[in-house]
Structure 1
Amino acid sequence: MARQRYIVTGKVQKIGFRYWTHHIATSYGLLGWVRNLPDGSVEVVAEGDIATLRQFEEELWRGPVSGEITNVNPCETDLDEPLSEFSIR
């Protein structure tokens, strides 16, 4: 299992992006979470196999119909909290 952190920017708040991300992540069987950040971006942490994480990142670039994604930045993560589901924070 691999764990990846993403910072997603663009029109990603107040459009249902977190709920959309939750739906996509759970459909891929990923564990992790999604939350809004004060600067208007969204942070996503996802755990799964590498191939699934790549597909998930492609979905993040597409985003929901109401969104306008300008960047999906995969970041290093040192988060080691145990994950048992994909949640919205």
Structure 2
Amino acid sequence: MITHHFIVKGRVQGVGFRFFTYHIANEYKIKGWVKNLWNGDVEVIAQGEDKYIEVFKKLMETGPPSSRVKSIEEEIFDGEKYDDFNIEY
């Protein structure tokens, strides 16, 4: 399964970024997960149709109103299949 691994950098913790990501993932039928990292970044694993992954990434670049996304790193690989989208703690 084609898997997109994103590292979102900037002011993305403590601003509702994971919940924002969760809601847009479900809206666009994206499967995978989102979690905060110890260094202040947010990590996202996403699987879905290419056109929806593009929209998903653009929406993450904007983020919720109080976030400030500086950059998103992306890596694509063949990974295990996910059945839904979760917030990891």
- Which blocks of at least 5 consecutive residues in structure 1 are unaligned? none
Counterpart for residue 88 of structure 1: 87
Shift of residue 3, structure 1, vs aligned partner: 1.6
**TM-score (norm. length: structure 1):** 0.91
Shift of residue 11, structure 1, vs aligned partner: 0.4
- 4+ residue runs of structure 1 moved beyond 4 angstroms? none
- Counterpart of 1:32 in 2: which secondary structure? strand
Aligned residue identity for 1:56:
F
Counterpart for residue 24 of structure 2: 24
Aligned residue identity for 1:70:
K
**TM-score (norm. length: structure 2):** 0.91
- Which blocks of at least 5 consecutive residues in structure 2 are unaligned? none
Counterpart for residue 70 of structure 1: 70
How far apart, CA to CA, are the structure 1 residues paired with 2:76 and 2:82? 17
